[in-house]
């Protein structure tokens, strides 16, 4: 996967910082940018739903868990650490926690 890199210049100190598109995207999510969240949802919702439905085998429950998962992700994106997990794995962990909560 090619990752574009963008340069951001701080005009006060002429400091140049290079950020990847991924880092910029994650920063937008941390700042609760609605457009970035829509992109994230479009990118991962179907795969996460597939993971959920295989575990619960109930469409209504799976949709509810998917909604819970993305709501939690929206509220807590600042907790995401890209150095520890890939984004899909992190979202999937949240989904698995929500599955356990609904089946206990």
Average pLDDT on 2-28 reads 67
Report how many domains make up the chain. Answer: 1
Q: Does the pLDDT of residue 98 top 60, yes or no?
A: yes
Q: How many CA atoms lie within 13 A of 27 on its CB side?
A: 6
With respect to residue 20, please indicate whether it lies within any of the assigned structural domains: no
Res. 1 pLDDT band, cuts 50 70 90? very low
pLDDT at 4 over 80: no
Q: If you search the block for the tokens 């698995």, which residue do you land on?
A: 96
Q: Kindly report the CA angle at 78 between 67 and 10, in degrees rounded to 5?
A: 135
What span, in angstroms and rounded, lies between the C-alpha atoms of 64 and 59? 9
pTM of the model: 0.78
Q: Give the CATH number of the domain where residue 29 resides.
A: 1.10.1740.10
Residues in the chain: 104
pLDDT band at 15 (very low <50, low <70, confident <90, very high): low
- The answer on pLDDT for 104 being more than 80 is no
**Domain assignment of residue 41, given as a range:** 25-103
């Amino acid at each position: 996967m090619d990752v574009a890199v963008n340069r951001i210049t701080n005009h006060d100190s002429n400091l140049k910082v290079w950020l990847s598109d991924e880092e910029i995207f994650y920063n937008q999510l941390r700042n609760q940018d609605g457009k970035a969240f829509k992109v994230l949802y479009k990118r991962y919702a179907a795969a996460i739903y597939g993971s959920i439905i295989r575990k619960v085998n109930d469409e209504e429950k799976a949709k509810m868990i998917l909604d819970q998962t993305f709501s939690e992700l929206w509220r807590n994106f600042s907790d995401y650490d890209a150095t520890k997990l890939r984004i899909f794995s992190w979202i999937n962990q949240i989904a698995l926690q929500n599955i356990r909560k609904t089946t206990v």
